[in-house]
Amino acid sequence: RRIVVLISGSGSNLQALIDAQRHDRLCGEIVAVISNEPDAYGLKRALEADIEAVALPHREYDSRDAYDGALIKVIDRHEPDLIVLAGFMRILTPRFVQRFLGKMLNIHPSLLPAYQGLNTHARALADGVKQHGCSVHFVTEELDGGPVVLQAELNVSSDDTVDTLKEKVHAREHLIYPIAVQWFLQGRLKYSTESATMDGHPL
């Protein structure tokens, strides 16, 4: 099975997937990594792992639709079974989401449905929540709103800051993303309009 990973930055989640693949914990292969930021460090991680790394700068396109059209073309060339968003900081057009519906996962740094969107750690701290974490979900047209397939939870302590929380959540992301990707590759995860199942059971 073929995986395409989309990134915009450091790509530490990409690295977790590369490591999982290396240790035979993924029954699939990352065939390409695409970044909208040409300087993303994740592209170097891809090259170091002998994975095709593609820079597709959004600034070179006039509209979101034109960019997503170009992105679809590049993705289709790799004939993926799964698209993995790993810190891809772009809002996707409905056309793009529809094209890959049911075969695109994202990881988000909050316990969804809490804290969709940006600055999740600061918002969680400001609210004084006791629990925080991260979620893997299917991507639908609603930003960070698709069905959740796996979450990791952690306790927020009184001396946590945005930076400490960010680090703790990141470490959890690196644990759960490869697991959720593996479930998908094994055919255990299924998306049907606005819900997800695992091994045929609602999640």
Q: Which residues are catalytic?
A: 108
Q: Is residue 69 within the footprint of ligand GRF (CB under 6 A)?
A: no
**Is 106 annotated to bind ligand?**
yes
Q: Are 133 and 107 in contact (CB under 8 A)?
A: no
Minimum distance, C-beta of residue 148 to ligand GRF, in the bound complex (Å): 13
**Cβ-closest residue to ligand GRF?**
87
Give the 3-state secondary structure percentages of the chain, helix then strand then coil, rounded to 5.
35, 25, 40
What DSSP assignment string belongs to 84-130?
EESS---PPPHHHHHHTTTSEEEEESSSTTSS-SS-HHHHHHHHT-S
Residue type, 14: L
Q: Is residue 34 within the footprint of ligand GRF (CB under 6 A)?
A: no
Of 4-23, which residues contact ligand GRF (CB under 6 A)? 7, 9-13
Identify the residue among 6, 34, 86, 92 touching ligand GRF (CB under 6 A): 86
**Is 13 annotated to bind ligand?**
yes
Of 157-176, which residues contact ligand GRF (CB under 6 A)? 170, 173
Q: How far apart, in whole angstroms, are the C-alpha atoms of residue 45 and residue 26?
A: 18
Query: Which residues contribute to the site for ligand GRF (CB under 6 A)?
Result: 7, 9-13, 86-87, 107-109, 134, 170, 173
